[in-house]
Amino acid sequence: MWSPIENRMMSIITGCWSLKDLPRASVKIVSPQEPLYSGDRVTLQCYIPEYTDWTYVWYKDNGLLPSETSKTTTIMLPNNAGQYQCRAGRGDPVYYTQYSEPVHIQVTGEYKRHVLIILHGSPPTASVSVSPHGLLYSGESVTLQCDISNYTGWTYWWYRKDQLQSPGSPSKTISTLSDQVSQYQCQGRRTDRPQSSQRSVFLKISVTGEFTVKTLSLTCLLVA
């Protein structure tokens, strides 16, 4: 009489007992799309082709996750970085699928062949430039420009003294310097990956001195 074993199951074909290989589970990323970044919430799915009605089992770093019994599980990066696997069982007695191949989620800036998912350590950083350059005076206008390299499609957010301003364009004009001396930052946000950039460093605009006008007396002499 056949005994239950983990990696095989018995099925009845034309009235005879035969062995059939159990399907192999696989771990897939449902959302978001790669690349992944610190702070992301990542949904993993345990996928098993051609079969339904499974009870799912999840593992992290070879340890059982007893509270995770659904087809999907959500993890927060980077705190939950590690190695993930899944399998599933059904029937009475329970027969299990084969374990999925391990999926490694690591915080790294380098590509490693054995790492299936690359988690970038941080999103891109915005930078602020100012024009015109050089000596500026009270009452003049300057334009701040927010730049984020390698990505497009941003909505730009400006901060003044760490207070969020209304979203706008990548450029911001300060029309009266004496009234708007402050510290400025910018940040990009969008719906695609990455969803937000890191803030730029502070750009400080301040009045550092005054221009003094000296009086010059002219005497006109008439020579006869």
Q: Token pair of 123, please? A: 């999103």
Are 100 and 31 members of one domain?
yes
Are 110 and 29 members of one domain?
yes
The answer to whether residue 215 sits within a structural domain is no
Q: Token pair of 46, please? A: 């345990």
Mean pLDDT (whole number) for 168-187: 79
Can the peptide bond before residue 32 be classed as cis, meaning omega within 30 degrees of 0? yes
Q: How confident is the model at residue 60 (pLDDT cuts 50, 70, 90)?
A: very high
Residue 130 has pLDDT above 50, yes or no: yes
The predicted structure's pLDDT at residue 205:
77
Are 148 and 81 members of one domain?
no
Are 81 and 131 members of one domain?
no
> How far apart (Å, rounded) are the C-alpha atoms in residues 151 and 73?
29
Of 120, 137, 156, the residue that ends a domain is 120
Are 105 and 137 members of one domain?
no
Q: Token pair of 174, please? A: 């300060």
The more confident residue out of 27 and 38 is 27
Nearest to 198 by CA among 98, 140, 123: 123
The answer to whether residue 210 sits within a structural domain is no
Residue 53 has pLDDT above 50, yes or no: yes
Mean pLDDT of the chain: 76
Mean pLDDT (whole number) for 171-188: 79
The answer to whether residue 2 sits within a structural domain is no
Q: How confident is the model at residue 120 (pLDDT cuts 50, 70, 90)?
A: low
Are 190 and 139 members of one domain?
yes
> How far apart (Å, rounded) are the C-alpha atoms in residues 167 and 164?
9
The 10s digit of each residue's pLDDT in 65-112 is 988 889 999 998 888 888 999 999 988 888 899 999 998 887 665 445
Residue 140 has pLDDT above 50, yes or no: yes
The predicted structure's pLDDT at residue 58:
96
Are 116 and 139 members of one domain?
no
Cα–Cα distances in Å, from 72 out to 66, 68, 105, 191?
14, 8, 16, 23
Q: What are the b/e assignments for 32-52, b being 16+ CB within 10 Å?
A: beeebbbebebebbbbbeeee
Are 81 and 42 members of one domain?
yes
The more confident residue out of 169 and 209 is 169
Of 86, 101, 120, the residue that ends a domain is 120
Contacts of 3 (CB under 8 A, 6+ apart): none
Q: Is the pTM value of this prediction over 0.85?
A: no
Residue 13 has pLDDT above 70, yes or no: no
The answer to whether residue 161 sits within a structural domain is yes
Are 111 and 153 members of one domain?
no
Domain count, the chain: 2
Nearest to 100 by CA among 158, 72, 154, 59: 59
Residue span of the structural domain in which 100 resides: 25-120
Which of 55-59, 74-78, 101-105, 211-215 is the least confident region? 211-215
Contacts of 211 (CB under 8 A, 6+ apart): 137
The answer to whether residue 211 sits within a structural domain is no
The answer to whether residue 157 sits within a structural domain is yes
The more confident residue out of 14 and 141 is 141
CATH number of the domain enclosing 93: 2.60.40.10
Q: Is 187 exposed, middle or buried (0-12, 13-18, 19+ CB in 10 A)?
A: buried
Are 163 and 105 members of one domain?
no
Phi first, then psi: give them for residue 196, nearest 5 degrees: -150, 150
> How far apart (Å, rounded) are the C-alpha atoms in residues 26 and 28?
6
Q: Is residue 152 helix, strand or coil?
A: coil
Of 120, 145, 167, the residue that ends a domain is 120
Portion of the chain with pLDDT greater than 90, in percent: 21
Residue 223 has pLDDT above 70, yes or no: no
Q: Token pair of 141, please? A: 């206008």
The predicted structure's pLDDT at residue 5:
39
Q: Is residue 178 helix, strand or coil?
A: helix
The more confident residue out of 23 and 116 is 23
The answer to whether residue 9 sits within a structural domain is no
Residue 12 has pLDDT above 50, yes or no: no
The 10s digit of each residue's pLDDT in 146-175 is 998 877 788 899 998 888 887 888 888 877
> Taking the CA of residue 150 as centre, how many other CA atoms within 13 Å lie in the half-sphere pointing to its CB?
7
Are 106 and 132 members of one domain?
no
Local structure of residue 198 (DSSP, 8 states): B
Paired with 63 in beta bridges are 60
Contact of 203 with 130, CB cutoff 8 Å: yes
